[in-house]
Amino acid sequence: MEESLRKQTESVARQIEAIHTLQPGAAPPPPLAPRSLRPVLSTLRPCDPISPGSFDPQIRAEADRQGVAPELLRAVISAESAFLPCAVSDKGAMGLMQLMPGTAAAMGVSDPLDPDDNLRGGVRYLGQLLERYGGDLRLALGAYNAGPALVDKFGDIPPIPETQNYVREILKKLAIPPPAAPKP
């Protein structure tokens, strides 16, 4: 979760800097306190993290609907957004499950920053990836992070450090042994 918070802090800082660059004469961006997103996010839009426990009924319902383990969903949401429903990455991924705009549209998500709508779309997409890769969680997670085109191209988790770490961290949270290192 600390890595996810660090990434969110960096993303928010870049977004605020971009806002101030586009608005000459605007007040300088607030200083970033280490590990504290709340003051920064409050300058953009109110956003409180969702307690995983309070969101559990929705997670369980969507997990049952798509046949995906609720523990997997909690791990993905934690890695993607640290349960911040208004999270927006520097690449444009949005919401709890960090859906890209095209993916959100394809999954029928009308408001990617709405936690319930984002969860429905993200779980549907993850379910499709699990089906596409024959239930291979490693490949589905690699595709969720880097896109299915790269997983298909390499026939495995793409050799992208961010993606490799992402898959490893989620598998660790689920107490699943990490994949073997690729052969040279």
Catalytic positions are 80
Q: How many CB atoms lie within 10 A of CB 27?
A: 8
> CA 118, CA 116: separation in Å to the nearest integer?
5
Question: Contact, 3 vs 35, CB < 8 A?
Answer: no
In whole angstroms, how large is the CA radius of gyration of the chain? 17
Is residue 157 within 8 A of residue 142, CB to CB? The reply is yes
Q: Provide the CA 76 distance to its chain's centre, in angstroms.
A: 6
How many angstroms separate the CA atoms of 180 and 121, rounded?
31
